[in-house]
């Protein structure tokens, strides 16, 4: 057998085993209900599935209490009625938070601050959001406020080039508040529509790092008392209930106004958004899967279907984000870009 055939066979077997695991973990609820009597055993299994989908103990308990009450009143005596009641319960939690990210064109600039823990996907989110806004006709400026992580500014620079946005950055190790201050002043002077401020990833339990984040917000408000207009918290969908703890801590620090849910390309269903919506009434603005995929606004009905492990009737697959994205990763982008001190100097593209 050729090396190519061996490789294909290996990856084929790997995909098959991963698919088996995903099917076991995320089997759809319709399959759970089909052909079974609605009894205590089924409701207990449904409770375990909801907890496994990251809805959390509190939200799951409240939902199951109402479902059990309906079963006791003989209102939910078949599969269809139980599924409809479950959908209503999830939508009742999510729909009050279903508010899109609307850019106020009267604001120059409309300031978006992006926060989150390390590795959640903030920089990729900023790149995709910048592309979406430039496609809508907005003039976008990025502030490379992550001056701590190696090559963070260079990565954001590549996303700025891909999306057609401009960028302001300083040398590695510079004060992030100073970077954001300069970017906001530049945005005001040149009538930029949207300023997106990147920040370094930080663990929500590190008090001194959260204080630094508060300082960046204060710097923004020193220039524009009405800013930031939005504070987006980027959450890794694989974090489970830890994402709820992150949301609480970041909200206490910088008054988070919306969520971006990332990494929905595995077994994660994003059910933690239900727990966050119930506890904090934050808005799930966007979701995306991998770099190179489109950033899409969250539709609460679609999110409810994904959290429930719903499978598409047309493709036999769980709810997925569309694959047709104009942002194709350029494999040699990093290797072809120059490396040197001049790349890290403050660059105001509007001059």
Kindly list the domain boundaries of the chain, sorted by start residue.
7-97, 110-344
Question: Is residue 233 predicted with pLDDT exceeding 50?
Answer: yes
Q: What pLDDT, on a 0 to 100 scale, did the predictor assign at position 13?
A: 60
Question: Is residue 46 predicted with pLDDT exceeding 80?
Answer: yes
Question: Is residue 32 predicted with pLDDT exceeding 60?
Answer: yes
What confidence category does residue 109 fall into, taking pLDDT thresholds of 50, 70 and 90? very high
Q: What pLDDT, on a 0 to 100 scale, did the predictor assign at position 291?
A: 43
Q: What pLDDT, on a 0 to 100 scale, did the predictor assign at position 9?
A: 60
Query: Could you check whether 7-97 and 110-344 share the same CATH topology?
Result: no
| 241-250, 261-270, 275-284 — most confident range | 241-250
The answer to which of 225-234, 237-246, 282-291 has the lowest mean pLDDT is 282-291
Instruction: Give mean pLDDT, residues 290-316.
Output: 48
Question: Is residue 214 predicted with pLDDT exceeding 80?
Answer: yes
Pick the CATH number of 110-344 from 2.60.40.10, 3.30.420.40, 3.40.50.720, 3.40.50.300: 3.40.50.300
Instruction: Give mean pLDDT, residues 120-139.
Output: 92
Q: What pLDDT, on a 0 to 100 scale, did the predictor assign at position 347?
A: 42
Contacts of 149-156 with CB under 8 Å at 24 or more apart are 149/200, 149/201, 152/123, 152/198, 152/200, 153/344, 154/334, 154/337, 154/343, 154/344, 155/123, 156/123, 156/126, 156/127, 156/198
What confidence category does residue 28 fall into, taking pLDDT thresholds of 50, 70 and 90? low
Q: What pLDDT, on a 0 to 100 scale, did the predictor assign at position 217?
A: 95
Q: What pLDDT, on a 0 to 100 scale, did the predictor assign at position 350?
A: 45
Residue 184 · residue 111 · CB < 8 Å: yes
- Give the rounded percent of residues in the chain with a pLDDT score beyond 90: 31
What confidence category does residue 35 fall into, taking pLDDT thresholds of 50, 70 and 90? low
d(C-alpha 60, C-alpha 54), whole Å: 9
Chain segment 165-209, per-residue pLDDT in tens: 999 998 888 899 999 999 999 999 999 999 999 998 888 778 888
Q: What pLDDT, on a 0 to 100 scale, did the predictor assign at position 195?
A: 96
The three-point CA angle 297-302-304 to 5° equals: 120
Q: What pLDDT, on a 0 to 100 scale, did the predictor assign at position 221?
A: 94
Residue 163 · residue 130 · CB < 8 Å: yes
Look at 263 and 293; give whichever has higher pLDDT: 263
Look at 11 and 107; give whichever has higher pLDDT: 107
d(C-alpha 258, C-alpha 283), whole Å: 5
CATH 2.30.30.700 fits 7-97, yes or no: no
Question: What value does the mean pLDDT of the chain take?
Answer: 76
Q: Which runs of consecutive H residues, i.e. helices, occur in the chain?
A: 3-25, 29-33, 40-52, 57-72, 79-94, 122-135, 152-163, 176-189, 207-223, 242-254, 272-280, 300-307, 333-336
- Exposure on the CB side of residue 316, measured as CA atoms within 13 A: 2
Question: Is residue 127 predicted with pLDDT exceeding 50?
Answer: yes
Q: What pLDDT, on a 0 to 100 scale, did the predictor assign at position 274?
A: 86
What confidence category does residue 158 fall into, taking pLDDT thresholds of 50, 70 and 90? very high
Question: Is residue 10 predicted with pLDDT exceeding 50?
Answer: yes
Q: What pLDDT, on a 0 to 100 scale, did the predictor assign at position 292?
A: 44
């Amino acid at each position: 057998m050729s090396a190519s055939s061996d490789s294909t066979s290996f990856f084929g077997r790997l995909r098959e085993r991963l698919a088996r695991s995903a099917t076991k973990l995320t089997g759809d609820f319709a399959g759970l209900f089909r052909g079974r009597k609605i009894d205590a055993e089924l409701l207990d299994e449904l409770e375990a599935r909801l907890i496994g989908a990251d809805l959390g103990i509190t939200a799951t308990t409240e939902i199951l209490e109402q479902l059990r009450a309906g079963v006791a009143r003989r209102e939910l005596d078949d599969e269809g009625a139980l599924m409809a009641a479950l959908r209503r319960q999830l939508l009742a939690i999510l729909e009050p938070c279903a508010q899109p990210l609307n850019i106020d064109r009267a604001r120059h600039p409309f300031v978006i601050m992006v926060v989150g823990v390390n590795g959640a996907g903030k920089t990729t989110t900023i790149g995709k959001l910048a592309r979406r806004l430039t496609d809508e006709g907005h003039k976008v400026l990025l502030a490379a406020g992550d001056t701590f992580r190696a090559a963070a500014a260079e990565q954001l620079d590549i996303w700025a080039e891909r999306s057609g946005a401009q960028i302001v950055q300083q040398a590695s190790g510079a004060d992030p508040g100073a970077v954001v201050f300069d970017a906001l002043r530049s945005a005001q002077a040149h009538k930029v529509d949207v300023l997106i401020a990147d920040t370094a990833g930080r663990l929500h339990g590190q008090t001194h790092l959260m204080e630094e984040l508060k300082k960046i917000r204060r710097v923004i408000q020193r220039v524009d008392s009405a800013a930031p207009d939005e504070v987006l918290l980027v959450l890794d969908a694989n974090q489970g209930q830890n994402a709820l703890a992150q949301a609480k801590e970041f909200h206490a620090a910088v008054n988070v106004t919306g969520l971006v849910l990332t990494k929905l390309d595995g077994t994660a269903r994003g059910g933690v958004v239900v727990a966050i919506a119930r506890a904090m009434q934050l808005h799930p603005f966007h979701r995306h899967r991998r770099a190179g995929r489109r950033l899409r606004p969250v539709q609460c009905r679609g999110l409810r279907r994904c959290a429930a492990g719903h499978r598409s009737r047309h493709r036999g697959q769980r709810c997925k984000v569309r694959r047709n994205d104009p942002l194709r990763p350029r494999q040699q982008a990093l290797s072809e870009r120059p490396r040197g001190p001049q790349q890290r100097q403050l660059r105001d593209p509007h001059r």
